[in-house]
Amino acid sequence: LNFEETAGDEVDGFVDQFGKGDFTEHACRYCGVQNPACVVRCNVPSCRKWFCNSRGNTSGSHIVNHLVRAKHKEVCLHKDSPLGETILECYNCGCRNVFLLGFISAKTESVVVLLCREPCLSVNALKDMNWDLSQWCPLIDDRCFLPWLVKVPSEQEQLRARQISAQHINKIEELWKTNPDASLEDLEKPGVDDEPQPVALKYEDAYQYQNVFAPLIKLEADYDKMMKESQSKDNVTVRWDIGLNKKRIAYFVFPKEDNELRLVPGDELRLRYSGDAAHPAWQSVGHVIKLTAQEEVALELRASQGVPVDVNHGFSVDFVWKSTSFDRMQSAMKTFAVDETSVSGYIYHHLLGHEVEMQMVRNTLPRRFGAPGLPELNASQVFAVKSVLQKPISLIQGPPGTGKTVT
Ligand SMILES: [Zn+2]
Ligand SMILES: [Zn+2]
Ligand SMILES: [Zn+2]
C-alpha cells in the first residue's frame, strides 16, 4: 500500500454531504454513515454490502460486527478513500482473511506491506527483504479496523447517523441470511419479529411445556434445514470404490465451514455430475458410511446403475436434510403432554421444574466400568457412569472429545 496520495483533510469535504437523506450505495447498512474514508465493502460476492468503522452503541465497529456475524472475511476499500479501491490481501500469498492480516511499515515511512499471520508471518516469508517482521501488527485491533486504514467517522457524523443497537444488528443479520436485500425497515413488518414464548424455570404441566418448546424446536429445525441445504459444494474430486456389499462408494473431501456442518455416518448427501460430451448428466443420493482419518467422506450410493466411475473431477455435492431427530423430539414431547404415565412421576415433575425429593436408585455397581474393546475410562468418566447408575435422570455435558458418545 502506498500513501503518496494521502490527504487527511480531504475527509472533511464529505461531512456536508452526509445526512441529506439521499441513500448512496456505499452508506453503512447499519447506521447510514457514507463518508468514503470511513466505509469498506464486504467483498463476499453474495453480500457486497458497505459498513463503516464506527462502533456506534456496540462493542465492535459496524464492519467487524458484520464480518463476524455473517462469517464473511474479505473487504475492499472505497475508490474515493485515501488508499483507493483496494482489496485487502496478503502481499506474499494473497490471503484475504482480514482476521489474519496485519501490516509492517517500511523504513521509508510512506509504504506499508500487508502480511498474513498464518502462514506468511510465522514462516518468515519476507526475511530476504528489508522488512522488520517483529513490527507486525494486526489490521483489526479491539474489534475495529486501524484508523489509518479505515477512518472512524467523526463524532458529528456519528451523532447524525442512525443509532442502531446490537439487538437490531443481530436481527437484520439473521434476516439477511434469507433475504439479502432486506432493510432495517423490514424489521418493523409484522411476522418478522414475532418472538417465541420465553422458556420458564417451572411449568404448570406437560401441555404448557410442550407449548413453549414445540415452537422453539420448529425454529431450530427450520434453521438447521436452511444451513445444511445452503452448503452445496462444486468442483469436488471423487475417487471410486466398491464395497463388500457390491455397492458403489464415492470418496471425496467435503470441507466443513466453521463446523456448522459436521457430517456423521448416516447423513445423506446427493452427488451430481452435470455431464460432458461422453457422459450424460447424473445424480444419486447416498449415505455417509464413514469419515476417514484424512477427512474424506465415504458415501455409499443408493443406485449403482449409470455411475460415471471413469470421471473423477467436477462433481457437486448437496446435503439432503432429514427431519428425523426433530420429528422424534416433537413426538416425544407430544407423548409427554398427552400421557402422564409416559414417564415416572419423578421424571415428570423434575422436567417441569417442580420441587421433588432427590431419589437414589439402588443398584449394585459393577466392579469395573470399562467395556470390552474400548479404552479404559478416566476418573471423571467413571464418576459420571457411577452417578448416572444411581439417579433416575442425569444430564451429562462436556466439550468435544470428552467421551459423551462412546462412554
Ligand atoms: Zn458480508
Ligand atoms: Zn455504521
Ligand atoms: Zn500470506
The predicted-structure confidence for 183-205, as pLDDT tens digits, reads as follows: 888 887 766 556 788 999 999 99
116 contacts: CB under 8 Å, gap ≥ 6: 90, 92, 93, 95, 97, 100, 101, 102
The residue assigned the cell 467421551 is: 403
Ligand 3 center–CA 122 separation, angstroms? 9
pLDDT, mean of residues 53-80: 93
State which amino acid sits at residue 386: K
**Do 247 and 376 belong to one domain?**
no
**Rounded CA gap, 153 and 39, in Å?**
9
pLDDT value at 333 more than 60: yes
pLDDT value at 372 more than 50: yes
pLDDT value at 18 more than 60: no
Ligand 2 center–CA 34 separation, angstroms? 8
Task: Please indicate, yes or no, if residue 212 is contained in any of the structural domains.
Answer: no
Q: Which ligand neighbours the alpha carbon of 120 most closely? A: 3
Ligand 2 center–CA 38 separation, angstroms? 9
In angstroms, what CA-CA distances link 28 with 25, 58, 363, 382, 395?
9, 15, 64, 55, 45
> Where does 35-78 show beta strands of DSSP type E?
39-42, 50-52, 75-77
Which residue from 273, 206, 280, 276 is spatially nearest to 234, judged by alpha carbons? 273
**Rounded CA gap, 90 and 106, in Å?**
15
245 contacts: CB under 8 Å, gap ≥ 6: none
Other Cβ atoms closer than 10 A to 7: 7
**Rounded CA gap, 70 and 98, in Å?**
14
Decide if 1 contacts 83 (C-beta within 8 A): yes
> What CATH number is attached to the domain comprising 284?
2.40.30.230
Q: Convert the pLDDT of each residue in 120-161 to its tens digit.
A: 888 877 776 677 888 899 999 999 999 999 999 999 999 999
Ligand 3 center–CA 268 separation, angstroms? 36
**Do 292 and 239 belong to one domain?**
yes
**Rounded CA gap, 67 and 316, in Å?**
27
Look at residue 178 and give its three-state secondary structure.
helix
Q: Return phi, psi of residue 337, to 5°.
A: -75, -40
**Do 385 and 253 belong to one domain?**
no
Residue 279's domain spans which residues? 233-322
Lowest mean pLDDT segment, chosen from 107-116, 266-275, 288-297, 391-400: 107-116
**Do 247 and 168 belong to one domain?**
no
**Rounded CA gap, 91 and 93, in Å?**
6
Task: Please indicate, yes or no, if residue 125 is contained in any of the structural domains.
Answer: no
- Domain boundary at 162, 178, 194, which? 178
Decide if 127 contacts 133 (C-beta within 8 A): yes
Task: Please indicate, yes or no, if residue 80 is contained in any of the structural domains.
Answer: yes
ipTM: 0.94
pLDDT, mean of residues 33-61: 93
Q: Which ligand neighbours the alpha carbon of 52 most closely? A: 2
Ligand 1 center–CA 52 separation, angstroms? 12
Q: How many domains does the chain have?
A: 3
- Domain boundary at 297, 322, 347, which? 322
**Do 81 and 18 belong to one domain?**
yes
**Do 42 and 150 belong to one domain?**
yes
Q: Return phi, psi of residue 139, to 5°.
A: -75, -25
pLDDT value at 4 more than 80: no
What's the confidence (pLDDT) of residue 3? 59
What's the confidence (pLDDT) of residue 8? 43
**Chain centre to alpha carbon of residue 349:** 37
Q: Which ligand neighbours the alpha carbon of 71 most closely? A: 1
- Helix intervals (H) in 306-405: 324-338, 345-351, 379-389
**Do 160 and 57 belong to one domain?**
yes
**Rounded CA gap, 278 and 97, in Å?**
40
Task: Please indicate, yes or no, if residue 102 is contained in any of the structural domains.
Answer: no
pLDDT value at 404 more than 70: yes
**Do 364 and 285 belong to one domain?**
no
Is the dihedral angle over the CA atoms 137, 139, 145, 150 positive or is it negative?
Answer: positive
Q: Which ligand neighbours the alpha carbon of 164 most closely? A: 2
DSSP 341: G
Q: Which ligand neighbours the alpha carbon of 34 most closely? A: 2
Ligand 1 center–CA 121 separation, angstroms? 26
Task: Give the sheet arrangement for strand 233-236, strand by strand.
Answer: 233-236, 315-320, 268-273, 282-291, 296-301, 248-253, 239-242
State which amino acid sits at residue 74: E
